[in-house]
Structure 1
Amino acid sequence: MAPQLRIAILECDTPVDKINAKYGGYRGVFTRLLQESTVALNQPERLDPETGLDISGWDVVTAQEYPNLEDVDAIVLSGSKHDSFADHPWILKLVDFTRRAYEDPRIKIFAICFGHQILARALGVKVGRNPKGWELAVCEVDLSETGREVFGVDKLRIHQMHQDIAYGYPSEVVSLGSSPTCAVQGMYIPGKMITVQGHPEFREDIMDELIRLRTASGLFSQEMAADAARRAGLAHDGVVITVAFLKLVLGL
């Protein structure tokens, strides 16, 4: 029997109440995605869909707890409503841990939205507000040649919920793709990491609730909300992206 894949979810935020109650934090959201992707991978001799995943969750915001790197094979950095460029103590601690995980030759990394920006920051790239504004709901990403090879599709469709970006690429990474709103949509190092600016873990119910709450708070205009709502239920490639990460971890 193949050994379990030990994945630590760094929970960089708590989902909004309705979603948190349904899924059980970002650990629950990512666990569902990873389980679905293990089934889609369809290599039970390498990763058993029933028993192959050992997933732990770590509150890096309030508890500021982290796994021992020697006890895990991979880390997932979740998205967050917080600013990746802020200098709050918990964010600086996260940047430092991410840098150490990156420098550990054994650890694989999957970084999402805020987590993608944190990894870019850990590698010396400026992160901050996007002058082009928000990117919302299911959007298309134009893939690089490497992106098409990694994901096995010609164009990527992925949920977006961000107004912050990485302003460039660390010298050691390869671009996975871009969009008209965001030039740095993903970073890749073979055998080491995959990052995406979008949210492979999001589903229509998650997006609908975020749109509703952020429109009610005045963050989104009615026009933005209506446009995003039209795309919230479109098909997307969250499982495709996560299968690519599982292949990276397994050396496939």
Structure 2
Amino acid sequence: MPPLRIAILECDTPVEKVNNKYGGYRGVFSLLLRESAAALGQPDKLDPETGLEISGWDVVTAQEYPNLEDVDAVVLSGSKHDSFENHPWILKLVDFTKKAFEDKRVKIFAICFGHQILARALGARVGRNTAGWEIAVCEVDLTETGKELFGRDKLRIHQMHQDIAYGYPSEVVSLGASPRCAVQGMYVPGKLIALQGHPEFREDIISEIIKMRTASGLFSKEQSEDALSRAGLPHDGIAITMAFLKFLI
């Protein structure tokens, strides 16, 4: 079987320590995708070592994109940037996301900023959340569809956001909500999974971001201590990504 061709749209560069350790968001997502392929336990359909052909695309500075006919799936990463801004690179990303959504074959996995970009591409409003930040491992209350898709009653997932989608585009099904964010997940069967949280984050990544943002004054001492206390909690990143890989095999 030919390998699955997955393009990581890198919407940001991780903080320095994370970037050096993992090799950008393409490295972070490559690790998650390979771990999730191994957890699927179907090497005849998807070999974790040879079954994934993963490429990274700098959509911010280089503004480079794959040809949709050359990939099977695109991953939209998180970002420190605001999804509601009208910078040329963000408008270009919104336009590409519309094209990927309209493509009958290509699948989409959209994370945090990427989830908001997808919502924006499909006509939903995105902006600041008046309820403030969600940080580190939080619980998401799943819809019946969400429970079925992930095989969980609740979803535990890393969060790092103060922006949200304000509503669901008509094309998608809701996956869940949290007390601070009503639009936690969007779904089109066999086509896309989009999540406000970060399945790709792990304790070292989230802890580094929290510490840097606390040092810069963005997070208070109380926010920081609370978030760091939840940074190492178990989360469902692998289960989420397994659900996406099932679209592809």
Normalising to structure 2: TM-score of the pair?
A: 0.99
Aligned counterpart, 2:90? 91
Unmatched tracts of structure 2, length 5 or more: none
Q: CA deviation at 1:249?
A: 2.1
Please list the CA deviations of residues 130-169 of structure 1 after superposition, one character each: whole Å capped at 9, or x if unmatched.
0000000000000000000000111100000000000000
SS at match of 1:40: helix
Distance 1:171 1:98 in 2: 16
Distance 1:89 1:175 in 2: 30
Aligned counterpart, 1:117? 116
Distance 1:172 1:199 in 2: 23
The amino acid across from 1:178 in the alignment is A
The amino acid across from 2:38 in the alignment is V
Distance 1:48 1:3 in 2: 10
Q: CA deviation at 1:172?
A: 1.3
Distance 1:171 1:70 in 2: 26
- Any residues of structure 2 matched to 1:72-151 within 5 Å, and which? 72-151=71-150
Aligned counterpart, 1:199? 198
- Any residues of structure 2 matched to 1:41-52 within 5 Å, and which? 41-52=40-51
Tell me which stretches of 4 or more aligned residues in structure 1 moved more than 2 Å: none
Distance 2:28 2:104 in 1: 27
Aligned counterpart, 1:175? 174
Q: CA deviation at 1:248?
A: 1.7
The amino acid across from 1:13 in the alignment is D
SS at match of 2:234: coil
SS at match of 1:191: coil
Sequence identity percentage: 78
- Any residues of structure 2 matched to 1:1-252 within 5 Å, and which? 2-250=1-249
Please list the CA deviations of residues 3-58 of structure 1 after superposition, one character each: whole Å capped at 9, or x if unmatched.
20000000000000000000000000000000000000111111111200000000
Normalising to structure 1: TM-score of the pair?
A: 0.98
SS at match of 2:229: helix
Distance 1:143 1:248 in 2: 20
Q: CA deviation at 1:196?
A: 0.5
RMSD: 0.5
